[in-house]
Amino acid sequence: MELPLAVASVAYLAGYAVRVLARDHLPRLGVDLCVGVVLGSWAVFVTDYAVRLRLSGLRPLRFVRTHLMDTVVLVLPLLRPVRMVTLYDRVQRRRDQPRLSLYARVMVYSGLSVSLLGFAAALTVYHHEADAPGATIVTFGDSVWWACATLATVGYGDVAPVTPVGRVVAVGLMACGLALLGAVTGSFSSWLIQAFTREDEKPAGGHRDGEGPRGDSPGAS
């Protein structure tokens, strides 16, 4: 059941992206196709959720609370692409590789989630801002630039959403993105300190490469 859901996530994001980015050049049929893909993938999620609710034998309210993440993804289409991260996890497991170290995994997982989240937010904000009066986000490039500056908490303010929908999406991006990015930088710091500690414990003078501490390379460990 995992693969179809991931495919539905990709389809959802791709359909929405084509719909938003090519809206001026898309024929009537294309728009309908995109909307169809988006609604179809939504239907897949609803069906999966309903089947699992039935199979679990739990009361609906309790199921909602123990499967909070699934419910949120069901209601907020913007967060749906985060499910695509599971596809990466699955692909990596199938190839029978030793899994990445803990910190590397947290970084990859959070980093991918943040990227997808930022892309989805940039799409939605561009969708709602592009035609608004007084908008500073007028191209998709502006929107991506805004999403990056927001996720890094730099916030230059040269471009910023002005519509209510755009601002609500922006607040959501801040809330989710910053927590995930905190996990990325936190893991990176821990990994860096751990790498230096390990180098300290090795006998000095014996390593050849000059880039400082060595990482946990997936093939080597």
Positions in 113-142 near its own copies (CB under 8 A): 141
Least Å distance between CB 194 and its own copies? Answer: 10
State the Rg of the chain over Cα. 21
Q: Which of 109, 117, 125, 143 forms a contact with its own copies (CB under 8 A)?
A: 109
Cα 82 to Cα 120: distance, rounded to the nearest angstrom: 9
26 binds its own copies (CB under 8 A): no
Nearest to its own copies of 113, 127 (CB atom): 113
Q: Tokens 């799409």 identify what position?
A: 123
Nearest to its own copies of 25, 208 (CB atom): 208
Residues between 28 and 67 with contacts to its own copies, criterion CB under 8 A:
62, 65-67
Cα 128 to Cα 110: distance, rounded to the nearest angstrom: 27
Q: Tokens 């999403």 identify what position?
A: 147
71 binds its own copies (CB under 8 A): no
DSSP assignment of 43-82, as one string? HHHHHHHHHHHHHHT--HHHHHHHTHHHHHHHH-GGGGGG
Q: Which of 70, 81, 121, 123 forms a contact with its own copies (CB under 8 A)?
A: 70
Residues between 87 and 106 with contacts to its own copies, criterion CB under 8 A:
89-90, 93, 99, 102-103, 105-106
108 binds its own copies (CB under 8 A): no
Least Å distance between CB 18 and its own copies? Answer: 22
Nearest to its own copies of 42, 188 (CB atom): 188
User: How open is the CA angle 80-161-37, to the nearest 5 degrees?
Assistant: 30
Tokens at residue 202, please? Answer: 């090795």
